Amino acid sequence: MPNNTPEPQAVCDPISRSAIFLTLTVGRDEGQRDVVRSWCGEIAALVRAVGTRAPTANLSCVCGFGSKAWELLFGAPRPASLHPFIEFGTGARRAVATPGDILLHIRADHMDLCFELASQLLNKLGNVVTVVDEVHGFRYFDLRDMIGFVDGTENPSGKSMVGFTIIGEEDADFAGGSYVVVQKYFHNLDAWNGLTAEQQGNIIGREKLSDVELDAAVKPSCSHSSLTTIDEDGQEVKILRHNMAFGRPGAKEFGTYFIGYARRPAPIEQMMENMFVGRPPGNYDRLLDYSRAVTGGLFFVPSADLLDALADREPATASTSSLPSSAPSPKASRSGTLDIGSLKGTQQHE
Ligand code: HEM
């Protein structure tokens, strides 16, 4: 990352033991939007106020905005690749889009810190927002997820993590920013646990206990690992994931909250297409026979500097009347290798 790139939010912070994911929608009148804009300038101070009380607990917060929310709150200019979440698949195997204007990804090694920060952030917003989804996530032993596998092994690290996640000169007004996709999945854990560890390993593409990747000669092409490994011009493109387990055993609710960061949405969308539709079509991810996505959202994460500055964004530059269509512009959707033809007819939500 060049030295003059604005400071990113805590996108690249290490994986934590606890997290709270909040998806909010914002009221549509101008007074409510004013409250949200000035709140943008208060987030960093709140993270400091809560986090300094437990310096070793690694508290952080990432805040992102959906396509329509950006238009309403901040107007032009807008991030080049921000568009509504694109749905993939059909029937029971479908990546659904659900409402969401703001995403908060709050992380720490202790849930009490996440809880305190979430409460403080929401208190400041009062009734100008509605919480449409709230998930309290945790990691099992060995950083495993709800299906019992170590999750995050193939995340990029060091400089390459920054290179894969943080926007640079390609969208200079938004350098230091990032894109994030979230999906909340429920698992049929009884059915999943009915499989042998070897069958589960073939579905993921890794040996369950040791977390070692299966040999290429035996790894199925429909394994999760195969379908989410993508190339552009012969180079592998990675994303950064901070998935968390969540659930309520008493209600037989067992889930994984998927969260993936990238410099452009296209690689994450390509992975979802491979998983839900298949590569080639029909050769889909068998993890989806045991897991159902119930939410889906795409958000732009401004740099920390821009987030702070958004507090002073003149409402006059933001849209005040009816919105222009926030369907993906051809430019946004054609970025990367994503085949726009395959998206024709897929439903998009705002
Ligand atoms: C039910 C939801 C999901 C679960 C339980 C899950 C779990 C896992 C596990 C256990 C691994 C192997 C270890 C690792 O490298 O982290 C993995 C790898 C990976 N997953 Fe997922 N995942 C889920 C959804 C997704 C989605 C929706 C995407 C992207 C759109 C995705 C992208 C990836 C990628 C890129 C890898 C690394 C592949 C490699 O390089 O081998 N995952 N996931």
The pLDDT tens digits for 152-180 are 999 999 999 999 999 999 999 999 999 99
| Closest atom of ligand 1 relative to the 206 alpha carbon | 12
**Tell me, what's the pLDDT at 5?**
86
Q: Is the pLDDT assigned to residue 327 strictly greater than 60?
A: no
Distances (CA, A) of 52 to 104, 138, 296: 19, 22, 33
Q: What is the mean pLDDT of residues 70-99?
A: 96
- Active-site choice (151, 171, 173, 289): 151
**Tell me, what's the pLDDT at 317?**
53
Q: Is the pLDDT assigned to residue 309 strictly greater than 80?
A: yes
Residues in a beta bridge with 300: 65, 179
* Banded model confidence at residue 290, pLDDT cuts 50, 70, 90: very high
Calpha distance 90→51 (Å, rounded): 43
Q: What is the mean pLDDT of residues 290-299?
A: 98
Going through 218-309 in order, the beta strands assigned E by DSSP cover 230-232, 235-237, 240-241, 244-248, 253-262, 291-293, 297-301
Q: Is the pLDDT assigned to residue 328 strictly greater than 60?
A: no
**Tell me, what's the pLDDT at 343?**
32
Most ligand 1 atoms within 8 A of CB, residue of 180, 227, 241 to mutate:
241
Calpha distance 167→263 (Å, rounded): 5
Mean pLDDT score of the chain: 90
> Hey, what amino acid is at 123?
N
pTM above 0.75, yes or no: yes
10 Å Cβ neighbour count for 173? Answer: 12
Contact 13, 51 (CB under 8 A): no
**Tell me, what's the pLDDT at 142?**
84
Q: Is the pLDDT assigned to residue 234 strictly greater than 50?
A: yes
What spacing in Å lies between the alpha carbon of 269 and ligand 1's midpoint?
A: 13
**Tell me, what's the pLDDT at 141?**
85
Calpha distance 11→14 (Å, rounded): 9
Query: Could you report the per-residue pLDDT of 97-124, keeping only the tens digit for each?
Result: 999 999 999 999 999 999 999 999 999 9
Calpha distance 131→208 (Å, rounded): 36
Q: Is the pLDDT assigned to residue 349 strictly greater than 80?
A: no
Residue nearest to atom 24 of ligand 1 (CA): 258
10 Å Cβ neighbour count for 4? Answer: 7
Most ligand 1 atoms within 8 A of CB, residue of 151, 164, 181 to mutate:
151
Tokens of 137: 């996530």
Length of the chain in terms of residues written: 350
DSSP state of 224: H
* Banded model confidence at residue 342, pLDDT cuts 50, 70, 90: very low
Nearest 10 degrees: Cα torsion 293, 332, 26, 31: 180
Calpha distance 235→214 (Å, rounded): 21
Residues in a beta bridge with 18: 108, 138
11 CB-near residues (< 8 Å, 6+ apart): 62, 165, 166, 178, 180, 240, 261, 301
Q: Is the pLDDT assigned to residue 321 strictly greater than 90?
A: no
Q: Tell me the percentage of the chain whose pLDDT exceeds 90.
A: 84
**Tell me, what's the pLDDT at 315?**
62
What spacing in Å lies between the alpha carbon of 120 and ligand 1's midpoint?
A: 32
* Banded model confidence at residue 240, pLDDT cuts 50, 70, 90: very high
Residues with CB under 6 A from ligand 1: 145, 147, 149-154, 183, 185, 204, 206, 224-225, 228-229, 239, 241, 243, 256, 258, 260, 268, 271-272, 287, 291
**Tell me, what's the pLDDT at 341?**
29
Q: Is the pLDDT assigned to residue 278 strictly greater than 50?
A: yes
Q: What is the mean pLDDT of residues 225-233?
A: 97
Cα 117–120–122 angle (5° rounding)?
105
Q: Is the pLDDT assigned to residue 345 strictly greater than 60?
A: no
Omega cis (within 30) before 77? yes
* Banded model confidence at residue 143, pLDDT cuts 50, 70, 90: confident
* Banded model confidence at residue 91, pLDDT cuts 50, 70, 90: very high
Q: Is the pLDDT assigned to residue 190 strictly greater than 60?
A: yes
Cα 164–165–166 angle (5° rounding)?
110
Q: Is 151 a catalytic residue?
A: yes
Phi, psi at residue 275, to the nearest 5°?
Answer: -70, -50
**Tell me, what's the pLDDT at 339?**
30
Q: Is the pLDDT assigned to residue 61 strictly greater than 80?
A: yes
DSSP H helices, 95-220, are 111-125, 158-165, 189-193, 197-204
End-to-end alpha carbon distance in the chain: 31
Contact 18, 108 (CB under 8 A): yes
Q: Is the pLDDT assigned to residue 347 strictly greater than 50?
A: no
Q: Tell me the percentage of the chain whose pLDDT exceeds 70.
A: 89
* Banded model confidence at residue 15, pLDDT cuts 50, 70, 90: confident
Most ligand 1 atoms within 8 A of CB, residue of 154, 186, 207, 242 to mutate:
154
What spacing in Å lies between the alpha carbon of 294 and ligand 1's midpoint?
A: 17
| Closest atom of ligand 1 relative to the 147 alpha carbon | 5
Q: What is the mean pLDDT of residues 118-137?
A: 97
Calpha distance 228→230 (Å, rounded): 6
What spacing in Å lies between the alpha carbon of 242 and ligand 1's midpoint?
A: 10
**Tell me, what's the pLDDT at 314?**
75
* Banded model confidence at residue 316, pLDDT cuts 50, 70, 90: low
